[in-house]
Structure 1
Amino acid sequence: GLVDVYRQLHPDTTDACYTWWSNRGQAYAKNVGWRLDYHFATPKLAALAKQAAIYKDQKFSDHAPLTVDYDFAL
């Protein structure tokens, strides 16, 4: 019953969605990775998701941060 929020907002994504790259064989440089980092939400909360992005401007580790912006007030 949970929704993959990134996939909901980017249904046609391809290798742009990778969030992890092996440290072997220059996987990051060749963009040969996997999407290991997810944001799952209930359907009601997922409906409030406005934007999801994978931050690749700077490499911190073998993972790239996945962020989701929601339209709700606390």
Structure 2
Amino acid sequence: MKAEFIKFAEFTGKSTSTFSNAKYEGTGDYLIITADFTSETEKAGTVKGKFVQIWKKEGDRHLIYHDEYEVLA
């Protein structure tokens, strides 16, 4: 997962992101987050997309269990 973020950062340069339509749900030891994002980037202009993350409780903290995103424009 870290490698994908590094590749994206190399392609787009510095960026500032905003999130909208965020939805938080949870059940048992899992948290589920879905949202849309818009990133203003140095090299690629405006990049829009959506993501879903599933976080799993491990001891006294939550760790990312699943991270999926889609770039729309």
User: TM over 0.5: same fold?
Assistant: no
TM-score normalised by L of structure 1: 0.33
Higher relative contact order, chain-length normalized (CA < 8 Å, sep 6+):
1
Q: TM-score, normalised by structure 2?
A: 0.33
